[in-house]
C-alpha cells in the first residue's frame, strides 16, 4: 500500500469493506506497457475495472478499449473514448448487441465460430474481424478453458470466407491465460498465428493484426517478471515468427493495468477456533468470495493480506462474512497473520484493483457491494 492510500484511510476512515485505487499507479502501468511494447497498441480490457475514473484517465493517456458488452461500450463513450478506438472482443454476442455497437460506430469485432461471423456480417457490414484461436495455458494462475477460440485451421478457413460475406479479415487473437507468469507462452501462440498469416497470404488474403491478448500479471504473493522482460521476449518472438513482415500488434491488459493500483480494506469480524486444541485460527472478514473476492475460487489468486500489527505470526484460515460455506478465501494456502490480531482490526488486501468490484454480488446474504474510491 502506498503512502497516498494510507493517508486516505487515515483521513477519511471509510466504512469497510472498501476498495481504494490510486490512479497514478494506473498511469505508471500504462507508461510501463508503452515503453515495454512501443509498437503495440493498448486496448484496455474494460471488464477488469470499468470505473469512469479509470476509463477517463486511460482516454487521456491515449488508450484504446476492449469491451465485452453494450454497457461497456456506453461506459467508454461516456468517458470520452472514441468508437474507432473500441474493439468488441467478446466472441459471444447477441446479434442485436452487435447492431447496437455498429450503430455507435464500433468497427472491430472478435469471433471464433461460423455462426458469430454470420451475425457480424449481418449486423455490422464492412467491419474488420479477427478470429480468436485456442492456445494452451501452461503457466497461467487463472487459466482459460476451451471456452474461447477455435482450432487454427478453422480460424484460417473462416477468415478466408470473410470477404465474400462483406467483412474485412483483419487478424488473429489469442489469450495465453490471465496472470501468465511465463513470457515464453506467447511464442507458441505466435507460431500458430504466423502460420495462418502465411496460409492466407497464399490465398491472396493479407491479414494486418495480431492481438496478443492480455495475461500480463500483477504482483500477488509471488514476484513476477518486469513488464520490460515480457516486452522483449514477445517482440523477439514476433520477429522470429513473422520475419520482415511484422504485423500491427495490439495488447489487451486488464489485470496488469489496474491490479496493483488498488487495495481493499476489510474489518476482522470474528476470530475463532473450532475446538479447544485447534492450532489454526479462523479469521472472518467483512468481504468474501461473493463481495468481490471471486478470484479466490479454488484459491486461484493469492492476494497478499497484511495487518498493521507487528509481532509474531501464526497460521490462519480466511473466510468471508456470509452464511455460505463456499465463502472461504484461503484454507489450503499458508496464510499467516499476527498472533495478537483482534476482532475489529483492519486488514489490507493488496493488488485488488482488477476483477473485484464487478464480481461483487448485488446483495448476497443482504450484504451490499463495497464502495470504491479513486484517488490521484
Q: Of 29-88, which residues contact a second copy (CB under 8 A)?
A: 45-47, 50, 67-72, 75
All cell numbers assigned to 234: 514477445
- E-strand stretches of 12-134: 18-22, 40-45, 64-67, 86-88, 108-111, 128-132
368 binds a second copy (CB under 8 A): yes
CB of residue 24 vs a second copy: minimum separation in angstroms?
25
Instruction: Tell me if 76 sits within 8 A of 67, measured CB to CB.
Output: yes
Closest CA to 308 of 337, 273, 350: 337
- Please tell me whether residue 145 binds a second copy under the rule CB under 8 A: yes
Measured between alpha carbons, how far is 121 from 292 in angstroms, rounded to an integer?
37
Q: Could you tell me which residues are beta bridge partners of residue 168?
A: 128
Q: Choose between 122 and 206: whose C-beta lies nearer to a second copy.
A: 122
293 binds a second copy per the rule CB under 8 A: no
Rounded CA-CA distance 121/125 in Å is 5
Q: Does 302 bind a second copy (CB under 8 A)?
A: no
List binders of a second copy among 175-234 (CB under 8 A): 178
> Nearest distance from residue 218's CB to a second copy, in Å?
17
User: Judging by DSSP bridges, how do beta strands 86-88 and 64-67 pair with one another?
Assistant: parallel
CB-nearer residue toward a second copy: 244 or 362: 362
Cβ nearer to a second copy, comparing 27 with 68: 68
- The answer to whether 56 and 80 are in contact (CB under 8 A) is yes
Q: Is 339 in the site for a second copy (CB under 8 A)?
A: no
Selected binder of a second copy within 162, 251, 328, 347 (CB under 8 A): 328
Sign of CA pseudo-dihedral 57, 61, 62, 68: negative
323 in catalytic set: yes
Binding residue for a second copy (CB under 8 A) from 244, 275, 311, 312? 275
Smallest gap from residue 281 Cβ to a second copy (A): 10
CB nearer to a second copy: give 122 or 308. 122
Q: CA quadruple 177, 358, 54, 18: dihedral positive or negative?
A: negative
Q: Which residue has the cell 506497457?
A: 33
Site for a second copy in 147-176 (CB under 8 A): 147-151, 153-154
Whether the CB-CB separation of 121 and 167 falls below 8 Å is answered with yes
Q: How far is the CB of 176 from a second copy (least distance, A)?
A: 12
Of 18, 131, 150, 323, which one is the catalytic site residue? 323
Shortest spacing between CB 163 and a second copy, in angstroms: 20
Q: Which of 124, 131, 190, 357 is the binder for a second copy (CB under 8 A)?
A: 357
**Of 235-264, which residues contact a second copy (CB under 8 A)?**
none
Contacts of 287 (CB under 8 A, 6+ apart): 16, 17, 264, 266, 293, 320, 321, 349, 370
The CB-of-232 to a second copy minimum distance in angstroms stands at 27
Strands (E), 46-102: 64-67, 86-88
Active site residues per annotation: 323
Amino acid at each position: 500500500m502506498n503512502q497516498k492510500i494510507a493517508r486516505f484511510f487515515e483521513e477519511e476512515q471509510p466504512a469497510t469493506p472498501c476498495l481504494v485505487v490510486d490512479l497514478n499507479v494506473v498511469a505508471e502501468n500504462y507508461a510501463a506497457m508503452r515503453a515495454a511494447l512501443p509498437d503495440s497498441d493498448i486496448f484496455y480490457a474494460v471488464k477488469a475495472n470499468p470505473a469512469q475514473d479509470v476509463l477517463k484517465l486511460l482516454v487521456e493517456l491515449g488508450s484504446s478499449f476492449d469491451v465485452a458488452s453494450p454497457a461497456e461500450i456506453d461506459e467508454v463513450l461516456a468517458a470520452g473514448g472514441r468508437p474507432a478506438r473500441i474493439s468488441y472482443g467478446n466472441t459471444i454476442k447477441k446479434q442485436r448487441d452487435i447492431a447496437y455497437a455498429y450503430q455507435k460506430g464500433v468497427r472491430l469485432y472478435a469471433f471464433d465460430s461460423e455462426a458469430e461471423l454470420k451475425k457480424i456480417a449481418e449486423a455490422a457490414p464492412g467491419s474488420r474481424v479477427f478470429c480468436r484461436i485456442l492456445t494452451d495455458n501452461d503457466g497461467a494462475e487463472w487459466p482459460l478453458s476451451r471456452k474461447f477460440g477455435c482450432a487454427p485451421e478453422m480460424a484460417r478457413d473462416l477468415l478466408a470466407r470473410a470477404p465474400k460475406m462483406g467483412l474485412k479479415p483483419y487478424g488473429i487473437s489469442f489469450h495465453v491465460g490471465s496472470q501468465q507468469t511465463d513470457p515464453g507462452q506467447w511464442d507458441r501462440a505466435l507460431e500458430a498465428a504466423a502460420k495462418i498469416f502465411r496460409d492466407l497470404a497464399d490465398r491472396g488474403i493479407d491479414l494486418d493484426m495480431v492481438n496478443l491478448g492480455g495475461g500480463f500479471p500483477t504482483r500477488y504473493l509471488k514476484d513476477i517478471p518486469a513488464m520490460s522482460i515480457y516486452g522483449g521476449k514477445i517482440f523477439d518472438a514476433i520477429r522470429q515468427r513473422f520475419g520482415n513482415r511484422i504485423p500491427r500488434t495490439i495488447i489487451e491488459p486488464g489485470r496488469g493495468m489496474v491490479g496493483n493500483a488498488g487495495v481493499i480494506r476489510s474489518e476482522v469480524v470474528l476470530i475463532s477456533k473450532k475446538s479447544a486444541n485447534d492450532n489454526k485460527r479462523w479469521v472472518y472478514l467483512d468481504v468474501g468470495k461473493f463481495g468481490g473476492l471471486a478470484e479466490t475460487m479454488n484459491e486461484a489468486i493469492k492476494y497478499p493480506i497484511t495487518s498493521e500489527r507487528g509481532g509474531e505470526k501464526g497460521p490462519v484460515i480466511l473466510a468471508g462474512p456470509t452464511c455460505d460455506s463456499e465463502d472461504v478465501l484461503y484454507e489450503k494456502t499458508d496464510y499467516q497473520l499476527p498472533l495478537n490480531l483482534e476482532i475489529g482490526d483492519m486488514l489490507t488486501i493488496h493488488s485488488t484493483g482488477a476483477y473485484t468490484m464487478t464480481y461483487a454480488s448485488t446483495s448476497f446474504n443482504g450484504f451490499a457491494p463495497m464502495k470504491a474510491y479513486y484517488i490521484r
